[in-house]
A and B are shown apart, each in its own frame.
Chain A
Amino acid sequence: MAGKSPWGSNPGPRGGNEGGEGDDPAPEETPSAEGGNKPRNPWLPGDGEDGPRRAANIEDLFKHRQARRGGGGGGGNFPRMPQAPGGKSWAPLIAIGVIAGWFLISSVHQIGPKEEGIVTTAGQYSRTMTSGLKFSLPWPIQSVEIEDVTSIRTDTIPEGEAEKLMLTGDQNLVDLSYIVRWNIKDLKLYTFQIGDPDNAVKEVAEAAMRASIAEVTLDDALSGSGRAQVEQSVRTRMQALLDAYGAGIAVQGVEIKKADPPEAVVNAFREVLAAQQDAQSDINRARAWAEQVTARAEGEAEAFDKVYAEYRLAPEVTKRRMYYETMERVLSKTDKTIIEADGVVPYLPLPEVNRRASSNSNREESE
């Protein structure tokens, strides 16, 4: 990397220097303004006065300066560099170092796996670098701008939690927030074609989203399937617009994060949900009742059928039997009074009846 001296016409000092410290990076870091007549390096220990070499810290620096000043060195306040080998100036070495560093920094480019670099020669586009270790001519002849191309960038619109109302096709309002994911499709176009491409993506997204939402009804915007349709159409629109601009941007996806009714009317929307629940429970109750009614009908019909089948085998006897059985059940549980038809002479005066009558009257009295 030592390279040629940029001062082609420089005759003298090179010969002496090159063998010694041509590539030593230390001189580069030395402020070149200090390359005085008798330079000394303050970062290096003075001529053998300290022990082994170590990194200088601030205190050391000041110590040296102090000592030098006390010693009455002729250098004023500036530290001095040690004499270069051969008694020549440090200046050419420094110049070479700076140039070498400059070459190194501006012409070697490490381009990551997700990145690409645009090489411009004096402002003119010359090529695109793909990933790897790549070289170019040094600045200002060529300059390289490296940009991450494959990583997906996301824009959330709107930023923050603010309410963003959009008009739907049926002139309702929906509070919407969404995410746009995109990456660079063509770095050359992305770099040159459009002013402030990042902002353009947002503006295009806004326009596309408005247009797409204006095509659907509020219910579609709120429901899942409608959302998917909106997302798809926004993406298509955005891509078409960006391609028309030649922006070199690929829209990877648009996701609606939130689509809600506006805050002001959200209660009315909840009421609709409640109404749906109510209606459903009404219907459920009716179904349960209907089930009971039909089941009972079937049960009774079945029972009748069974009895009827029996009856058919022996109509008269069965009928009688049923009659008596029923009468038994009925009369065994009730108070019975048998009265002769014309007179009012009870066959069975039945103390029970009297007792009950008296107890009833007692009760009435006591009340």
Chain B
Amino acid sequence: MESIWQNHKGVVIGLAIAIVAVLSSIFVTPETKQAVIVRNGKPIDVVNKFRPDLDYGNTGAGVWYRVPLIDRVVFVSRQILAVDMQRQEVLSRDQRRLEVDAYARYRVIDPTRLVQTAGSTARVEEQLRPILNSVLRQRLGTRSFQALLTAERGAAMNEIKEGLDKEAREYGVQVIDVRIKRADLPAGRPLETAYTRMETARKQESDTIRAQGSKAAQIIRAEAEAEAAQTYAAAFNKDPNFYDFYRAMQSYDTVFSNDSDNSSIVLSPDNEYLRQFRGTGR
């Protein structure tokens, strides 16, 4: 090694300087970043700027150059990023409270502007968060509670997205999507009243079910009785006189021929049954 050093001192030093010079004048931009070259505090160029029509591999990512010591490179994400909003209470038009958790997804489309206005995506998020909060509260506040929950949510979200997007453009940022991640009833009164309502609704349901059950049972009994009556009528109506006799016989049987019953019967000799007793039968 010494021999190399001894013999080629000049060359080695020259090479080292060249390497340092090259390394400090090139930089690598990954696919996920956009690079803003700032000269004397002024952005002069953007590498790998986002353009929707370019596929990865053709976007300009890779090795690029700068003037050492004069140009500063600021990297800005090229990906779709998310701003998470703090959980906050929204008052709907009908004065009901809803706790909302939302997020916005955005992409830096004008990194130059972003670098000039905010400096970094973290700063942009800091700026966007309160805007998102207020836009959200404002727009959702014009809607009824029911509308917030159901289909209209889509339209509301679009409005919010557009509202936020307008503000975000100032920072060179495009808002792609705003979504409500969670929408809950706030703890305490609103939640408790919801529980009470659910409970009473269920109570009503169970009472109704029981009532319907006994109604159905009653109807079933009545129908059976009607059917039985019809059956009886159809049979007995063929000869009401005979039925009278027949049924009377049955009835006597049931009433008097009961073993446990110690009833006494007092008969008059005129009784039909005792007719032959006197020997005066017809």
Q: Which residues 225-278 of B have a CB within 8 angstroms of A?
A: 225, 227-229, 231-232, 234-236, 238-239, 242-243, 245-246, 249, 252-253, 256-259, 261-270, 273-274
Whether A78 is near chain B, meaning CB under 8 Å from some CB there, is: no
B235–A305 contact, CB under 8 A? yes
Question: Chain B residue with minimal CB distance to A172?
Answer: B198
Given contacts A9-B8, A124-B57, contact A308 B238 (CB under 8 A): yes
Interface size band for A: 35 or more
Question: Chain A residue with minimal CB distance to B251?
Answer: A326
B224–A347 contact, CB under 8 A? no
Whether A104 is near chain B, meaning CB under 8 Å from some CB there, is: no
Interface size band for B: 35 or more
A278–B210 contact, CB under 8 A? yes
The segment from B110-118, B128-136, B172-180 that touches chain A is B172-180
Please report the C-alpha to C-alpha distance between residue A344 and residue B59 in the assembled complex, in whole angstroms: 133
B171 to chain A, nearest CB (A): 17
Chain B residues with Cβ below 8 Å from A305 are 235, 238
Besides A203-B82, A275-B205, A334-B262, 16 new A-B residue pairs in contact (Cβ under 8 A), listed by A number:
A126-B57, A173-B198, A192-B79, A214-B183, A215-B151, A244-B176, A265-B198, A275-B206, A282-B216, A283-B213, A290-B224, A296-B228, A329-B253, A330-B265, A336-B267, A339-B267
Given contacts A194-B80, A283-B213, contact A12 B3 (CB under 8 A): yes
Whether B202 is near chain A, meaning CB under 8 Å from some CB there, is: yes
B238–A286 contact, CB under 8 A? no
Whether A228 is near chain B, meaning CB under 8 Å from some CB there, is: no
Chain A residues with Cβ below 8 Å from B72 are none
Interface residues of A (CB under 8 A from B): 7, 9-10, 12, 89, 91, 120-127, 165-169, 171-173, 188, 191-196, 199-200, 203-204, 206-207, 210-211, 214-215, 218, 241, 244-247, 261-262, 264-265, 268-269, 271-272, 274-276, 278-280, 282-283, 285-287, 289-291, 293-294, 296-298, 300-302, 304-305, 307-308, 311, 315, 319, 322-324, 326-327, 329-331, 333-341, 347, 353, 356
B212–A279 contact, CB under 8 A? yes
Question: Chain B residue with minimal CB distance to A271?
Answer: B206
Please report the C-alpha to C-alpha distance between residue A293 and residue B274 in the assembled complex, in whole angstroms: 38
Question: Chain B residue with minimal CB distance to A123?
Answer: B30
Question: Chain B residue with minimal CB distance to A305?
Answer: B235
Interface residues of B (CB under 8 A from A): 1, 3-4, 8, 11, 28-32, 56-57, 59, 61-63, 77-82, 103, 105, 145-146, 149-151, 153-154, 176-177, 179-185, 194-195, 197-199, 201-203, 205-207, 209-210, 212-214, 216-218, 220-221, 223-225, 227-229, 231-232, 234-236, 238-239, 242-243, 245-246, 249, 252-253, 256-259, 261-270, 273-274
